[in-house]
Amino acid sequence: MILRVVALKVSGPRLLDLTFNNGVRKRVDLSPLLTGPIFAPLRTSKYFAQAKLDEECGTVVWPNGADFAPETLHELSSVNVATKSRKNSEKQATGT
């Protein structure tokens, strides 16, 4: 099976909620991949939010031609936002 992104939602600065054609759904943080000149515009929230699904290629693209292979997106670890929020709350409660 050729891996494809079939649905996406921009869920925050550099965060995407993705659904793949193999049934996997995950939220990923693209921050580690945003290096080099083609990805520089994606470091701004406003530009990152212009992400679109290219149904022909089965991946996420931006107006400047930046994109990622579906396999690369699939290999990224899922981000658990609830865990991050809980950790921030715990830090505030303990003053650390």
pLDDT of residue 89: 44
Could you tell me if 30 and 96 are in contact, meaning their C-beta atoms sit under 8 angstroms apart? no
- pLDDT (0 to 100) of residue 48: 98
Distance CA 35, CA 38 (A): 8
pTM for the structure as a whole: 0.81
DSSP symbol at 87: H
pLDDT of residue 80: 81
Segment (H or E) for 28:
strand 25-29
What are the average pLDDT values for consecutive 10-residue runs of the chain, which has 96 residues?
96 96 97 96 97 96 97 94 48 50
Q: What is the pLDDT of residue 81?
A: 62
pLDDT at 96: 52
